[in-house]
Amino acid sequence: MRAMRAYVVVLSVVGMFVGALAVAFVGCTATTTTFTDFGIAAAACLAPRACYRPDCACNRGSLSDCVICDPVLQVSQSCDCSAQTSMCLDQAQVCVGRSPTACSAPGSRCLPAGSSCAGNSDGGLVSNPLEAAPQLVAVVGTGGDGGTPTFELRCAYADDVCCPAL
């Protein structure tokens, strides 16, 4: 009889322990918290970046017309591009290979519209601060290739002049 009472007491203690664990686990519900990619706060557009229109024409002389919000000019020193259907980009990211024609001769360089390629005999080396080397961009084919992209060198700005190396 004594052994049976000890067995019942042990089962009762084990049963209470399991019951307490069940209540503890049922009482704890999983919660989900959503964080931004940065894990701290929603990202704002900070200088040297700015909010640019996605439909920017990318003419070198009128690039400032594409700026919707410049953090440097704001009291908060930041912009919210999401509310303005714009993109937070560095100036160098706004216009990449936007020239309508390829500039792929070896040693070519891109100059602002109205510039002359004559008289520059630097062999294609970029020496003028307004000169830039063409950028490699993917261009979707329009021929019978099914739209397969190819890569071409193009000037960053739509109105740039492509100067082949002399």
pLDDT at res. 85: 81
Reported in sequence order, the residue ranges of the chain that DSSP labels E, i.e. its strands, are 45-46, 50-52, 67-69, 78-79, 87-89, 109-111, 135-140, 149-154, 161-163
1 has pLDDT over 90: no
84/121: higher pLDDT: 84
- Surface-to-core class of residue 26, CB atoms within 10 Å of its CB (0-12 exposed, 13-18 middle, 19+ buried): exposed
22-63, pLDDT tens digit by residue?
434 444 444 444 444 444 445 689 999 999 999 999 998 898
pLDDT at res. 137: 92
Domain boundaries, the chain: 45-94, 96-166
Handedness of CA 115, 117, 122, 126 (dihedral sign): positive
pLDDT at res. 144: 64
Residue with token string 């021929």: 143
What rounded mean pLDDT belongs to the chain?
75
